[in-house]
Structure 1
Amino acid sequence: MLQKITLLSLFICVSCCVNAQTNNLSIEKIMQDPRWMGTFPSNVQWDEHGEALYFKYNRDNDPSDSLYRIRIKSPQTIEKVNAKEVMALIPAGGSYNKARTKKIFGKDKNLFVYDLKKREQTALLQMENPVGSPEFLADENKIAFQAGNNLFTYSLASGQLRQVTSIKEGEADNKKEKEVSPKEKWLREDNLELLRVVREREEKQETSKKYREMVSEKEPYTFYSGDKQVFNLKLSPDEKFAVFSLRARGDSKRTIVPNYIDASGYTTDLNTRTKVGEETTKTELAVYNLQKDTVYMVRTDGLPGLKDLPDYVKDYPDREWEPKEREITISGASFSPNGKYIVVNIRSRDNKDRWIALLNPEDGSLKNLDRQRDEAWIAGPGIGWSMGGGILGWLPDNKHIYFQSEETGYSHLYLLDVTTGKKKALTSGNFEVFDPFLSKDGKRWYLTTSEVHPGERHFYSMPVYGGKMEKLTSMTGNNEVSLSPDEKHLAIRHSYSNRPWELYLRKNTANAREMQLTSGQSDAFAAYPWRDPELVHFTAADGTEIPARLYVPEQDVKNNAAVIFVHGAGYLQNVHKWWSSYFREYMFHNLLTDMGYTVLDIDYRGSAGYGRDWRTAIYRHMGGKDLSDQVDGARFLVSKQGIDPKRIGIYGGSYGGFITLMAMFKEGDTFTSGAALRSVTDWAHYNHGYTSNILNEPFNDPEAYRRSSPIYFAEGLKGNLLIAHGMVDVNVHFQDVVRLSQRLIELGKDNWEMAVYPAEDHGFVEPSSWTDEYKRILKIFNTTLLKN
């Protein structure tokens, strides 16, 4: 559906297509199936012996990526793995014994053990349900695993299988009491009073029942979960306790997304997510005391600050706020290696607190070890978002736990002694830590950080109790490292700003050199001189230095017009030195620069990679600092790059589409044109997990939603606006732009158009859709920003 197309637009469309064809790049070329670019490795993993690397690749131009292998002894040879070999591979998941001589894993309904010395795989048993989460117990002759809703142990020595928990769905028969209406109750009592025989038989049955209960043996204990889902079952290494989570899903209203081009020929409905504020799922953590044969719930009433009110309540003085225990989510439990201690990770449902607590399995009580409080919202690398997660584990000494925290403003790695409560920071500085893990002997850390530069990622080694970090990668850009099982080699998936991902091999020593294993660029892709955008900073109105990527055209083609790109996801980084996940947009920026445009790509406030204060700068006001950063970027282009202030456009998708709408509605004197793709138009209609972190809930903090939602500012549209959206978008629903379009119609705005894509979800798939969308983006910029 197209709302407005002017004759001038049609004229310029033809003109811009001709211009694009004079360049080496065109919309059709860069938006075609990405396989034209070549093939690039993904999903890298080692074999169990560190002798070969496996990865997804597409050297032979198959319909989809296949599994390939490189043997370390012959690194120049890339082999395609046949289907039979794929089936025989040991899965990446599973668990090892301490000596790492045996690995156990589940595959479908089977439990397997792999002997690394003998290189033999043995099927141990087959269950009625899929086998999950197998682990060696303290007695390494025993394995614990989950099947269905219960935990089992298996003895490698005797082959004995034992079910250690008895958990069933639904209610116990004696708990199922049929509801009786007042009428039915009266009829029964009246009947018993009138008819002696019936009354005597009832009394006899009740007497017999009580006698049987008195003389019969006690039935084995069974825990009934009712209508709650059982998950995360774990057995303590000493086999004394089990813990498990219970999830109760509320009856939340979900949004329907119609699919108008279903294969059936009928319009079908996609039942998608709820809206923010309607998340009613609740979780509990239960302890199964195997010695006492009973189950009880973990008690959270002793957590410090559980009744704390958020700071934003002061903005609603007319409302009465009652301090009460907040709802929490317990994401699971972690046992010390010897089973003596249990720690749990807890999040408040209002996203303001994270507790790490010691669980007493004898009574289900908690002792707080660390409380992380953020008046905005708890998040950051290794910390997770609203539903829990994050780094949490044990050192081999059975008394230190490790986790990440933004206590200093950046996410760093910490140790905490559960016996003393003493906490120690292992890393520090104005950088962030990613994906730390222990060496197999437990004496060193391996971790990735941004210490060199916010736009670089490097891999390090560090002593387990802290000390100097040893840098183990040297290539500028992003280094995604997979360590070999014997810890002798690093497999590195590396990319740079203008070079897509390739696979490298390096010995695990500080001075080793990387060896390139793959070279996947096609001739057609490699023929174009892709730009290495300049990383720059400009000063925002509040004095903050804002990072950006700048694409500058040659002076002889410079047209003094500019385009600002706004990345999506909000909490994402795009000003960096590696190959962007926005590779189509990157290629489009090269095309725009060829045509004479200057392009600016900003890591605005709210973006990832710059610490807690940057992340939370948009709290309760999306479209605040994140929008003013775009405005200040436009001023930088005018003052430093010679751009005409009347010839600046802006575009982006998802969160970038939202910012584009806010820019066009609130900053019409700065931006002449904008293209808003798959945009959020009203945050009260987006999902709960993301939105409630940043804006709280709409019925509790309506002010935050009103100042953050473009639909409330549509009357401010001055420039030229393109709206593009997939009609089967189950993330940002098509309803968002439908509501906005009606608002624009009612306001009498006539300088906007909308393109819809019946076959597309949030992330477009079809090259034809990408091509159509970006032709329209290029058209609106050429039409409105270029002078005759």
Structure 2
Amino acid sequence: MKHLFNLLSWCACALPVLAQPTPPTPTSTSALSIETIMQDPRQWVGTSPSGVFWSDDSRTIYFTWHDARSADKALGDSLYKITLPAPGTAGRNAAIPAPVKVSIAERRLLPSADDRPIYNRARTLRLYEKYGDIFLLNRQTGPSGAQVRMLTSTVERESNPVFSGDEKAVIFTRAQNLFRLDLTTGFVEQLTNFDPAAKKPEAKQTDQESWLKKDQLALFDVLRLRKAKRDETERTTKAEQPHRPKTIGTDGRTVMNASLSPDGRLVTYNLMRSASSKSTIVPNFITESGFTEDLPARTKVGAPLAAVEFMVYDVRRDTALTISLASLPGITDKPDYLMPAAVTSGSATAAGRSTVAASEKTAKDTTTTRKGATTKPANRPVYVSMPVWAEGPTARYGVVSIRALDNKDRWLMLVDTESPTTMKLLDRQRDEAWVGGPGIGGAFSPGTLGWLDAQTIYYQSEADGYSHLYTQNVLTGQKTQLTKGRFEVQQVTLSADKRFFYLTTNERHPGEQHLYRLAVTSGRDGALQRTQLTTMTGANDVTLSPDESRMVIRYSASNKPWELYLLDGIKKKGTEPVAFGGSAIQLTQSTTASFQAYPWREPAVVTIQARDGQPIYARLYQPAANAAVKATGKAVVFVHGAGYLQNAHKWWSQYFREYMFHNLLVDKGYTVLDIDYRASAGYGRDWRTGIYRFMGGKDLTDHVDAAAWLVKNHGVDAKRIGIYGGSYGGFITLMAMFTTPDVFKAGAALRPVTDWAAYNHGYTSNILNEPYADTLAYRRSSPIYHAAGLKGHLLICHGMVDVNVHFQDAVRLAQRLIELKKENWELAAYPVEDHGFVEPTSWMDEYKRILKLFDERL
């Protein structure tokens, strides 16, 4: 038994790596090696551009990059720019200059790449935050430093700038409070005064106390005179002083998401009290100090969560009010698994999801009888997002997204400044597994949500099983589904004139992403009016220029890393939108000559029928029939991580090291398969929730079915199949080796979850509920309870400073295997690595062990 779990073993495995010479560079005829493919990717593969954004005059493209062809030896990536020729006669055919590095002086005044543009309604001005200060950019005169006005420069951080409803001022947050800065005078006015030290105001006087006070004043002249003088002094003093906002006590709670309505009548905010939850720690042994240092980490699933209240401050009435959410339809509904007729199969069908409008369902007033007492069911706790307000100085409506903490419900509710304590239900999405999918949002995020006009909103919902785009009139309730079909709308952008949506979808193929334009007025299902704007096969991650006349496409194919491409539009006559056509122009070349020398394979994207009839999409790598290296009958199945992620697609994988490793395996005669198992992204709600209450159920049988498909169709020996993966992929590898030991002869579980009760709350509770409430789900889903089934050879690799899946997971499983007297396993620990490895030597060591495992055992 090789327990690489002691200091001597760690040293022994480290020394050969440190002594490695410079990794060789493969040519089109030479074989790959672990040293080559696991070296520093900046020096070997190159650095793809990321973080793309435009200047506000639509002339300059900014992006983060490292030019592998330059002499720049910077250790990190830098900001680059390409300034395009002016549109017009010379513009489209003029040569496009090479990327140049952006100076520090220019960077200082640029918005950040991840900033959501905040424009005034005429789109002549733009707000942004940088370094904790607020800037105003005049878009009519360009983005140069002279045209940027710095509005604040303070030690305290200012954030969340927006234009006031009348656009004469900027509203921003400082130290949890809202402020108003007049754009003409620069005058700053504080709008709220939240005081963490102050408690809620005392309760009103009782009838008895009120009567006694009046009686005293009626009886005694001296009391009556003193009160009159005191009241007069207070009135005079108040009249002399400038207006100050009312002090609102928060009783030690944190103020979140404060927002002023466009009409200035209402401030909405959340008050959060942190829960007293025990957090985990991760010991760090390799430190500069020479001492072991504890890294603070997360809580575990099921720990108490923060309590949040949704509040409004009525500016006119000078009153703060708690908004009761007790009337939310279904607020007391329990999930099906807690009901007597609970379904425990983990199946995901249309019955598990629903959308409920205000006219279709009202809150239930059910009661529970226990020992003769009648009690009303408790309201489920919820989180409320910041309102998305309609535009205009007199706009009175906003929409909030409310999420149940158990994530079974999402409500969209209308806030009206005329009656702030009464919200109207617009849409309810219920899912007995968990609410999710592209554009749906999270705890305090509304996801895709905006206004088309003063009465119409747009949003995304999985109501029909796929995330699609909807519009709704907030007054009449009239709802229109703009997209429909067995595909997902993955990103939504509204055009500046609000006439079109720009949609990224996978409707052409689950493994492709393209940009489409859809008229807002297209009506139900909008298929005929949807225009495809990108054509390159793979993924097209588009950033439109502010004037929507050009697009930068961050594009990749399955065997080509990401590069930037430019596609110019042609302005049509009249009010017709810009037409995009022709070939996109490549702007960057990021890969090195060494990387380009190898003929990287384009894996075939295939479909495999699962045992329940569902199609499984997969990437297949196999030796060519006429290649020098023939298929050997050996096969390896790779399991992607992250749970909700897609990897069987036609673009460059985020698992690029694994992709290169798969090419190496094929060079050695292996067949490699990489599937999008149940719960992978890109395939709709039922696929997403197919693991509800049983991780290691359908997601594992999908891999077993894929292995059988390899044997039946591709000459693979059923006794020579291995499996490996990291994170969730490591978890599936363990479940495969423990619960289907006759299918996979060898497995490498990298940074695996071994017990879901030890993982975080946000991810785990959605799928398995809470460990003390749904013990069945955790028992059948956690590998540590199934370790007795191990037959084949198992390699476990784990970083010791992993703050995501803690090293404790591997240690606990090691002890379990020791007590079970298993001898066909080993554990390799990596003292300086977190969840995602960084050091090339760690990658090399890990993949040498994986390759050795498969070469020896398959």
| TM-score of the superposed pair, with normalisation by structure 1 | 0.90
- Distance apart, 1:213 and its partner CA: 7.0
C-alpha distance in 1 between matches for 2:770 and 2:848 = 38
- Distance apart, 1:309 and its partner CA: 1.3
C-alpha distance in 2 between matches for 1:418 and 1:309 = 28
* Residue 503, structure 1, aligned to residue 560, structure 2: no
C-alpha distance in 2 between matches for 1:471 and 1:173 = 56
Q: More displaced, 700-709 or 137-146?
A: 137-146
Give the secondary structure class of the aligned counterpart of 2:744.
coil
Partner of 1:328: 382
- Distance apart, 1:737 and its partner CA: 1.0
Matches for 1:447-486 after TM superposition, within 5 Å: 447-466=503-522, 467=526, 468-486=529-547
* Residue 103, structure 1, aligned to residue 126, structure 2: yes
Give the secondary structure class of the aligned counterpart of 1:618.
coil
Partner of 1:381: 438
Residue type at the aligned position of 1:166? N
**CA RMSD, Structure 1 to Structure 2 (Å):** 2.6
Partner of 1:182: none
CA contact (8 A) 2:500 2:518 kept: yes
1:19–1:241 CA distance, 2 compared to 1 (3 A): closer
Pairing partner for 1:229 from 243, 249, 254: 254
Partner of 1:392: 449
1:479–1:106 CA distance, 2 compared to 1 (3 A): same
C-alpha distance in 1 between matches for 2:396 and 2:200 = 36
Pairing partner for 1:694 from 755, 767, 775: 767
Residue type at the aligned position of 2:722? G
- Distance apart, 1:104 and its partner CA: 2.4
Partner of 1:130: 157
- Distance apart, 1:38 and its partner CA: 1.8
1:20–1:444 CA distance, 2 compared to 1 (3 A): closer
C-alpha distance in 2 between matches for 1:125 and 1:325 = 43
Q: More displaced, 635-644 or 109-118?
A: 109-118
- Distance apart, 1:529 and its partner CA: 0.4
- The percentage of aligned residue pairs carrying the same residue is 52
Matches for 1:750-761 after TM superposition, within 5 Å: 750-761=823-834
Partner of 1:50: 58
- 1:426-446, CA deviations, whole angstroms, 9 ceiling, x for partnerless residues? 111111002211111111111
- Distance apart, 1:275 and its partner CA: 0.4
Pairing partner for 2:80 from 68, 87, 95: 68
1:762–1:102 CA distance, 2 compared to 1 (3 A): same
- Distance apart, 1:552 and its partner CA: 0.6
Residue type at the aligned position of 1:222? T
Give the secondary structure class of the aligned counterpart of 2:711.
helix
Matches for 1:617-656 after TM superposition, within 5 Å: 617-656=690-729
CA contact (8 A) 2:200 2:250 kept: no
* Residue 158, structure 1, aligned to residue 185, structure 2: yes
Pairing partner for 1:238 from 255, 259, 263: 263
Partner of 2:586: 516
Partner of 1:430: 486
Residue type at the aligned position of 1:343? V
- Distance apart, 1:214 and its partner CA: 5.6
CA contact (8 A) 1:426 1:465 kept: no
- Distance apart, 1:4 and its partner CA: 6.6
Pairing partner for 1:492 from 550, 553, 563: 553
Aligned length: 745
C-alpha distance in 2 between matches for 1:770 and 1:549 = 23
CA contact (8 A) 1:254 1:274 kept: yes
* Residue 306, structure 1, aligned to residue 363, structure 2: no
Pairing partner for 1:266 from 279, 287, 291: 291
Partner of 2:405: 349
1:554–1:112 CA distance, 2 compared to 1 (3 A): closer
1:388–1:237 CA distance, 2 compared to 1 (3 A): closer
- Distance apart, 1:364 and its partner CA: 2.0
Residue type at the aligned position of 1:673? A
CA contact (8 A) 2:384 2:443 kept: no
- Distance apart, 1:19 and its partner CA: 14
> What runs of 5+ residues in structure 1 fail to find an aligned partner?
177-205
* Residue 414, structure 1, aligned to residue 439, structure 2: no
1:781–1:213 CA distance, 2 compared to 1 (3 A): farther
- Distance apart, 1:696 and its partner CA: 0.5
Give the secondary structure class of the aligned counterpart of 1:587.
helix
Give the secondary structure class of the aligned counterpart of 1:133.
strand
Give the secondary structure class of the aligned counterpart of 1:636.
helix
C-alpha distance in 2 between matches for 1:142 and 1:19 = 61
Pairing partner for 1:724 from 797, 804, 815: 797
CA contact (8 A) 1:503 1:516 kept: yes
C-alpha distance in 1 between matches for 2:226 and 2:603 = 83
1:707–1:90 CA distance, 2 compared to 1 (3 A): closer
CA contact (8 A) 2:722 2:854 kept: yes
Partner of 1:577: 650
1:172–1:619 CA distance, 2 compared to 1 (3 A): closer
- Distance apart, 1:103 and its partner CA: 1.7
Partner of 1:769: 842
Partner of 2:104: 83
Pairing partner for 1:25 from 20, 29, 32: 32
Give the secondary structure class of the aligned counterpart of 1:288.
strand
Matches for 1:438-449 after TM superposition, within 5 Å: 438-449=494-505
Give the secondary structure class of the aligned counterpart of 2:331.
coil
- Distance apart, 1:158 and its partner CA: 3.3
Give the secondary structure class of the aligned counterpart of 1:479.
strand
CA contact (8 A) 1:48 1:90 kept: no
Matches for 1:705-720 after TM superposition, within 5 Å: 705-720=778-793
- Distance apart, 1:51 and its partner CA: 0.5
Partner of 1:197: none
CA contact (8 A) 2:284 2:800 kept: yes
C-alpha distance in 1 between matches for 2:717 and 2:293 = 49
Residue type at the aligned position of 1:703? L
Partner of 2:90: none
C-alpha distance in 2 between matches for 1:576 and 1:118 = 43
- Distance apart, 1:527 and its partner CA: 0.4
C-alpha distance in 2 between matches for 1:300 and 1:235 = 21
C-alpha distance in 1 between matches for 2:693 and 2:618 = 24
- Distance apart, 1:159 and its partner CA: 3.1
Partner of 2:460: 404
C-alpha distance in 2 between matches for 1:485 and 1:417 = 28
C-alpha distance in 2 between matches for 1:629 and 1:498 = 25
C-alpha distance in 2 between matches for 1:311 and 1:174 = 41
- Distance apart, 1:418 and its partner CA: 0.3
CA contact (8 A) 2:386 2:444 kept: no
Pairing partner for 1:142 from 169, 182, 186: 169
- 1:625-662, CA deviations, whole angstroms, 9 ceiling, x for partnerless residues? 00001100110111101111110000000000000000
CA contact (8 A) 1:4 1:751 kept: no
1:208–1:376 CA distance, 2 compared to 1 (3 A): farther
C-alpha distance in 2 between matches for 1:90 and 1:615 = 36
Residue type at the aligned position of 2:663? N
Pairing partner for 2:607 from 505, 525, 537: 537
Give the secondary structure class of the aligned counterpart of 1:650.
strand
- Distance apart, 1:212 and its partner CA: 8.9
CA contact (8 A) 2:200 2:251 kept: no
C-alpha distance in 2 between matches for 1:752 and 1:210 = 85
> What runs of 5+ residues in structure 2 fail to find an aligned partner?
6-11, 86-94, 204-222, 239-243, 343-367, 570-578
